[in-house]
A = this chain, B = another copy of it.
């Protein structure tokens, strides 16, 4: 059975990238590795749309999120956390682990923050050290308006910190143009490389904050990571295999150009959303991201069982709902090394899977809607 992966990470990996990992291991301090690490750092700046350094950590995205907290904040800081799903909540959990005072903005899951709420909050607490936001809330599929948040925070002393773990390369994030102070991402979503690398970039203002930060850190010390990175090195032995793979994957993105990569994700998402609606289903996110599409299931359909059945019978992996959304939604990522042919497979399989559990739909209705989008959008 052919297998297809539409989870919001890990995402499918280009064959050349897989093969790069099967070559003999490199000594991470050899001159070739120094050059490799330097090259990958430079190529990452392009996808982060920044002139700031990008640090490569050996960890998952969550480790990189923790690095942001422990390097930028101090024990007496207060922060605003936008909580609109599992990953916004994670920002809060990390802060809580370090005793940081937390002012949450709680948003109904599936909704995105109204930037006015953030402005009001900052007027109330002008001493706020940072606003912790999420570009795409992966648990709900909602996109947040980071550009407007950047406009609001731009002239203040408050730092804008963005979790772009899932959305980098899928939803636009212009770190420098939008005045974002810290971006965190990882290797295994839009960057088409296995999980294992956390990626972080900081603005000048964020680097200033690292100087006064009094929270304890060692492995995730970003100043050490930056200084080593500038020498083509890392403070500790890195996952050099994945850095080599990432180099390969970044070449794909450079060849396609970031604006085209974003455009591709946009029309794949549009086609998926169109298909879902044509099948009589509702989108879960009010303002959906181009990273993944979250779909509300009819009450009588058990989402967990549906995902499991489709995986076993058809070899197609979607993600189910997380936490309180377990069983209630399914999530289909169109993320990374994915094209319209893949989404045709994703949509056709969803049609069949739903009909197999007794949902009444016209087979082909979703596909037809997707075809219309592809006819109009493909370059």
- A→B interface (CB under 8 Å): 3, 5, 7, 9-13, 18-19, 21-30, 58-63, 66, 93-94, 97-99, 186, 188, 194-196, 215-220, 235-242, 311, 317
A7 CA to B240 CA, complexed, in Å: 14
Nearest-Cβ distance from residue A146 to partner chain B, whole angstroms: 23
A186 CA to B238 CA, complexed, in Å: 12
| Contact with A216, one of B58, B60, B99, B238 (Cβ below 8 angstroms) | B99
Q: Is A66 in contact with B240, judged by CB distance below 8 angstroms? A: no
Known: A63-B219, A241-B194. A18 touches B12 (CB 8 A): no
Q: Is B13 in contact with A238, judged by CB distance below 8 angstroms? A: no
| Contact with A218, one of B7, B24, B97, B196 (Cβ below 8 angstroms) | B97
Q: Is A22 in contact with B21, judged by CB distance below 8 angstroms? A: yes
Known: A94-B218, A218-B66, A237-B9. A22 touches B18 (CB 8 A): yes
Contacts of A12 in B (CB 8 A): 24-25
Q: Is B311 in contact with A218, judged by CB distance below 8 angstroms? A: no
Q: Is A240 in contact with B28, judged by CB distance below 8 angstroms? A: no
Interface centre among A7, A12, A21, A241 (most CB of B within 10 A): A241
Known: A10-B237, A61-B236, A196-B241. 9 other contacts (CB 8 A): A13-B24, A22-B22, A25-B194, A58-B58, A58-B195, A60-B238, A62-B235, A99-B216, A194-B242
| Contact with A196, one of B58, B62, B311 (Cβ below 8 angstroms) | B58
Which residue of B is nearest A234, CB measured? B60
Q: Is B24 in contact with A18, judged by CB distance below 8 angstroms? A: yes
A59 CA to B196 CA, complexed, in Å: 8
Nearest-Cβ distance from residue A195 to partner chain B, whole angstroms: 5
Contacts of A217 in B (CB 8 A): 97
Known: A97-B217, A216-B98. A21 touches B61 (CB 8 A): no
Q: Is B10 in contact with A317, judged by CB distance below 8 angstroms? A: no
Q: Is A236 in contact with B196, judged by CB distance below 8 angstroms? A: no
Known: A59-B59, A60-B58, A216-B99. A237 touches B188 (CB 8 A): yes
**13 contacting pairs across A/B (C-beta < 8 A):** A5-B24, A5-B27, A10-B26, A28-B195, A30-B311, A58-B58, A58-B60, A59-B219, A66-B219, A188-B237, A196-B242, A239-B239, A239-B242
A9 CA to B237 CA, complexed, in Å: 9
Contacts of A13 in B (CB 8 A): 24-25
| Contact with A237, one of B22, B195, B218, B220 (Cβ below 8 angstroms) | B195
Contacts of A5 in B (CB 8 A): 24-25, 27
